[in-house]
Structure 1
Amino acid sequence: MYATVEDVEKRCGCSLSLDEIDWCRSLLEDAAVIVDTYGRNASDDAKKVVSCNMVVRMIRNNTDQDVPIGASQGTISALGYSQTWSLGSGSAGELYLTKLDKKILGCGNRIAFSGPFVED
């Protein structure tokens, strides 16, 4: 793991419950796998920032906030009970990397990220 539960709490600006702490640790482990897949050669600081970003999005999407984190468009109606959200990248309920996360890891907006003549 590149980030700790305390790092996530600082970024969220809240204290997590005991159940949320266990969930957060599990998310941080999963985020580390995803981060390593995209940014194996990124710095530890970059991996920490991206891991925190991913987990904070997930935690905030599962709270009782009015607008999900990562929503690019939204619609709210009143008496017709309508509510629609469009998520920019990824979706609620999964860990995902944004374009910024990929840039931080050093793999965003490249035409060819790896090839037969590229050394890892």
Structure 2
Amino acid sequence: MTAFATADDLEKRWHALTPTEKHKATTLLDDASDLIRTTCPDWQQARPSTLRRICCAVAKRAMLAGDDTAGVSQHTETAGSYSESYSYSNPAGDLYLTSAEKKSLGVGCQRAFSVDMMPEASP
């Protein structure tokens, strides 16, 4: 199956990618597309632009983690009287959908229906 977005789509939404980043982005966009297909049963009802946007956002989150933060959940540096602290939002570079993205794809949205329990009267 094809990905919902390309590395060029990700570049338009983020920044120019190096050849190494493009290769990684292509793999992550494929994985993000698979995540959407397996997590969201009604993904076919979403517009192509919505699928492209969400696919790029998922891949970007994973790429922002970088290789030097693997497994880091908090980082503090101190030099003399100065201190700097970081908390990484996705230290392992996991692929995930936010609740807003799931809602855009129809996951968790309420639906209503009715069932007629009365059979039609025969003449």
Structure 1 length normalisation: TM-score?
0.66
Q: 1:32 aligns to what?
A: 33
Contact conserved, 2:78 with 2:84, CA < 8 A, in 1?
Answer: yes
> What SS does structure 1 have at the residue aligned with 2:78?
coil
Deviation at 1:46, TM superposition (A): 1.5
2:63 maps to 1:62: no
Q: Deviations over 1:22-79 (max 9, x none)?
A: 1110001000101112142322221111101101112222288xxxxxxxxx885533
> What SS does structure 1 have at the residue aligned with 2:5?
coil
1:60–1:15 CA distance, 2 compared to 1 (3 A) = same
Query: C-alpha separation between the residues in 1 aligned to 2:100 and 2:27?
Result: 23
> What SS does structure 1 have at the residue aligned with 2:63?
helix
- In percent, how many aligned pairs have the same letter? 29
2:109 maps to 1:105: no
> What SS does structure 2 have at the residue aligned with 1:78?
strand
Q: 1:68 aligns to what?
A: none
Instruction: Provide the aligned C-alpha RMSD in A.
Output: 3.4
Larger radius of gyration: 2
Q: 1:7 aligns to what?
A: 9
Deviation at 1:84, TM superposition (A): 4.5
Aligned amino acid, residue 105 of structure 1: L
Aligned amino acid, residue 102 of structure 1: K
Deviation at 1:85, TM superposition (A): 1.5
Contact conserved, 1:11 with 1:56, CA < 8 A, in 2?
Answer: no
Q: 2:24 aligns to what?
A: 23
Contact conserved, 1:76 with 1:84, CA < 8 A, in 2?
Answer: yes
Aligned amino acid, residue 35 of structure 1: I
Aligned amino acid, residue 29 of structure 1: D
Contact conserved, 1:9 with 1:16, CA < 8 A, in 2?
Answer: yes
> What SS does structure 2 have at the residue aligned with 1:25?
helix
Structure 2 length normalisation: TM-score?
0.65
Query: C-alpha separation between the residues in 1 aligned to 2:77 and 2:66?
Result: 21
Q: How many residues align?
A: 102
